[in-house]
Structure 1
């Protein structure tokens, strides 16, 4: 049974290598490490070789590490709920992570409480279209005349935690940085229709623990923010509180105020954009180049890259000539 109001924490993993490999502060790794170290299993989302999102089952750290990082597309669950039930009935400790609607779906499927289950849901902005994601990748491959071999939805290593820049890596060793898919995502035109009426866009969530990037940390606990990632943790019930207590020795943590932590997805669903129908008409009838410029600020982002290159050339000229 969830509490009326969650307890709120700012969290950073003490292991800087783990935090660097995590999208925010490393709370998911800490929670799942505890489950794995006790012979349990972890279910979470990974990117497949063709860059689709899919839930998998992990029995070790290597498999779990594939779940790290943001995946801004809907994951395919397959037989995940069925497999979770098998593990629970076999008395294995299970951690399931996913969106709030996936956690709610799992609990509905199970039909009863399990003492060996921990559910971790994420603060979800909304689920973007796989069709748009696929079209974006194909366009980038055509534009760069090379196959994509890896994707980082948010490149924290090169640009810091505060930035949101996707980096695509190509077979020829080159890479490109972009804000186009991020822009389409945050303008909400490519979200699923159900996301505009999401039941979980509030501080109340079905998970035992709810996690997110701690946007607003500058107000809630500014001393925690070093631009390398901080996790927002909402503890929703006694199960979540027990899970967090067991790993606190692995974390730097501070209890914060809920009112200082209210990101938009914790308050209400994002409204359906007025131009959503026009976007989808254009998407079905135009080339992605047109979509990227009209809706994704491609021209603006490209102009910015050209400007940065010019500045770098001027700096090199000054250094070489001693001006």
Structure 2
């Protein structure tokens, strides 16, 4: 048994995209979880015939991925769905759901991230708009790709139009797996800030279920209905009423924003750059309202950064232009506003002991010792008031 497709690389460089597992003609590669809950490939040398396909599709190799980057975006826009009820259900401006719904309406199929019944995150195939609602909203957990690359290849060969959404390393893995371009493939990469493991997320859910005495059936990372964009996380339970918690008070989301529990490869990610691998790049458009005051009103309920990186991406974006509010912007606004369009974020010292402490001390200990500690006056200030204070500060 060998630990990685490259003998001259550390397994920690692996992104977990599963391209190697799905390309192997001998089924010699299997993914298994390490002690942190991340999946890594292992090669059964008794089955391996040294064909080299796994190395050809691995996005850890710069020589593999260098040809995938689109150097200059064709257009950069701030955009949002003006339908507020739909926008409320999305993390930012609702552009992914709008693009994906239109794609399905034109007889395409969409691949995106969903929750399983146990709230593990996985990629799956959607061919109707109602089911697609499950892919709406950010999920700050590493998604299990499953065999979706194989499914995509089958769809493409059958002439179906395919839209695949994922992190840049997943998009790179898919494109390398396919081995050639397809005119009927459209890709959306997300500006990713790193992925914690399903193991850490499960610890979070178990803690919440113990604290509130009910089974968690849904977890919304950035729910808007209370007071707008970015303030709340929402826990949906089997029987009791949903709980809205301030984003920073939940230790999982707090630690995510500090980068304590990301996959090891996230700290050396080759995709944290303005050159992108997807036809379209979607994200929050951080700081755009500082350059254009007319965007301040739209910020309350969120808007997207939409980078059209290829003619394919631009043609996809144009299918929804008549349904959206948008404004073209210089690419520099996007790069200035988001560090992950410039470089990777430094691995924090806490990362070296985070998972060990989580396993040995438990989630409750981590939350109480390393979580946000609000003073009594801070706890008494409602979130809408905190948002108002932030808005006033942003105008000064």
TM-score, normalised on structure 1?
0.90
Question: Structure 1 stretch 148-157 or stretch 2-11: which is displaced more?
Answer: 2-11
Secondary structure in structure 2 of the residue aligned to 1:225: helix
Identify the residue that residue 235 of structure 1 maps to in structure 2: 308
Question: Structure 1 stretch 92-101 or stretch 174-183: which is displaced more?
Answer: 174-183
Q: 1:83 to 1:41 in 2, by over 3 A?
A: same
- Is structure 2 residue 367 aligned with structure 1 residue 292? yes
Secondary structure in structure 2 of the residue aligned to 1:76: coil
- Is structure 2 residue 264 aligned with structure 1 residue 264? no
User: What is the CA deviation profile of residues 259-284 of structure 1, one whole-angstrom value per residue up to 9, with x for unaligned ones?
Assistant: 12220111111111112223233212
Identify the residue that residue 319 of structure 1 maps to in structure 2: none
Contact kept? 1:46, 1:67, Cα under 8 Å? yes
Secondary structure in structure 2 of the residue aligned to 1:46: strand
- Is structure 2 residue 233 aligned with structure 1 residue 158? no
Runs of 4+ in 1 over 3 A off after TM superposition: 303-306
Identify the residue that residue 12 of structure 2 maps to in structure 1: none
User: What is the CA deviation profile of residues 134-164 of structure 1, one whole-angstrom value per residue up to 9, with x for unaligned ones?
Assistant: 111111111122211221111111131142x
Q: 2:271 aligns with which of 200, 210, 231?
A: 200
Higher relative contact order (CA 8 A, sep 6+): 1
Deviation at 1:292, TM superposition (A): 0.3
Question: Structure 1 stretch 114-123 or stretch 273-282: which is displaced more?
Answer: 273-282
Question: Structure 1 stretch 281-290 or stretch 181-190: which is displaced more?
Answer: 281-290
Contact kept? 2:119, 2:217, Cα under 8 Å? no
Secondary structure in structure 2 of the residue aligned to 1:18: helix
Contact kept? 1:2, 1:236, Cα under 8 Å? no
Identify the residue that residue 388 of structure 2 maps to in structure 1: none
Identify the residue that residue 394 of structure 2 maps to in structure 1: none
Q: 1:183 aligns with which of 210, 233, 254?
A: 254
Identify the residue that residue 234 of structure 2 maps to in structure 1: 167
CA distance in 1, matches of 2:89, 2:118: 21
Q: 1:246 aligns with which of 316, 319, 323?
A: 319
User: What is the CA deviation profile of residues 156-181 of structure 1, one whole-angstrom value per residue up to 9, with x for unaligned ones?
Assistant: 11131142x31212233233314321
Deviation at 1:305, TM superposition (A): 7.4
Secondary structure in structure 2 of the residue aligned to 1:151: strand
Secondary structure in structure 2 of the residue aligned to 1:74: coil
CA distance in 2, matches of 1:305, 1:152: 23
CA distance in 2, matches of 1:189, 1:206: 26
CA RMSD of aligned residues (A): 1.9
Contact kept? 1:123, 1:212, Cα under 8 Å? yes
Deviation at 1:105, TM superposition (A): 0.4
Deviation at 1:243, TM superposition (A): 1.2
User: What is the CA deviation profile of residues 57-103 of structure 1, one whole-angstrom value per residue up to 9, with x for unaligned ones?
Assistant: 11110111110001010111111000001111111111000000000
Deviation at 1:221, TM superposition (A): 3.3
Gaps of 5+ in 2: 1-67, 386-396
Deviation at 1:34, TM superposition (A): 2.2
CA distance in 2, matches of 1:2, 1:184: 30
